[in-house]
């Protein structure tokens, strides 16, 4: 099942589950005027096709004390250093996303910390301690006025 094979019901199911992954199938069935078995079969097919890969809980990071969000462009010493640097980044709780990119940076990461002091500590003691990193550029996010999922 590829995206072009998704019909309107599949897309509607995805949109509702993206809003709330815990929506009961019976509720979806009533909303779309089909049986709960139909919803179950459709969701299973989308899981098998890898379209639905899981569910997630959305949290407010600031309420957990994570007040600083930044993006860091990383220039690697050589392209072959990518796997080693990636393995190091996986060890750091502060790193919440890693992208292997084209352009100026080999890697572009998203980092969250509790404070600027904690960010500085992360940069000096963890990130810049990785010898395969040539240099970094840090961009601090002041606000996140828009964050959304794609619409199927």
Options 3.30.70.920, 3.90.170.10, 3.30.505.10, 3.40.50.1220; CATH for 61-141 is 3.30.70.920
Is the CATH code 3.40.630.30 the one for domain 3-48?
A: no
Q: Residues of CATH 1.10.10.10 domain(s) within the chain?
A: 3-48
Per-residue pLDDT at 2: 53
In whole angstroms, give the CA distance from residue 28 to residue 26.
5
Mean pLDDT, contiguous 10-residue spans, the chain (152 residues): 77 92 94 95 94 88 95 96 97 97 96 98 97 97 90 82
| Contact yes or no for 14/23 (Cβ under 8 A) | no
Q: Residues of CATH 3.30.70.920 domain(s) within the chain?
A: 61-141
In whole angstroms, give the CA distance from residue 20 to residue 74.
35
Per-residue pLDDT at 58: 83
| Contact yes or no for 42/32 (Cβ under 8 A) | no
- Give the strand order in the sheet containing 95-100: 95-100, 107-113, 68-76, 133-141
Q: Beta strand 68-76 with 95-100: parallel, antiparallel or unpaired?
A: unpaired
Per-residue pLDDT at 152: 82
In whole angstroms, give the CA distance from residue 46 to residue 1.
7
């Amino acid at each position: 099942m590829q995206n072009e094979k998704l019909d309107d019901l599949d897309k509607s199911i995805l949109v509702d589950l993206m809003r709330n992954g815990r929506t009961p199938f019976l509720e979806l069935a009533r909303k779309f005027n089909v049986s709960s078995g139909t919803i179950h079969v459709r969701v299973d097919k989308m899981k098998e096709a890898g379209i639905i890969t899981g569910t997630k809980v959305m949290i407010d990071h600031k309420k957990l004390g994570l007040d600083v969000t930044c993006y860091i462009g990383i220039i690697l010493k050589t392209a072959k250093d990518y796997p080693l640097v990636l393995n190091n980044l996986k060890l750091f709780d502060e790193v919440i996303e890693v992208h292997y990119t084209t352009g100026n940076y080999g890697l572009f990461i998203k980092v969250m910390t509790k404070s600027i002091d904690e960010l500085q500590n992360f940069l000096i003691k963890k990130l810049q301690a990785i010898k395969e990193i040539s240099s970094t550029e840090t961009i601090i996010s002041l606000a996140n006025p828009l964050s959304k999922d794609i619409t199927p």
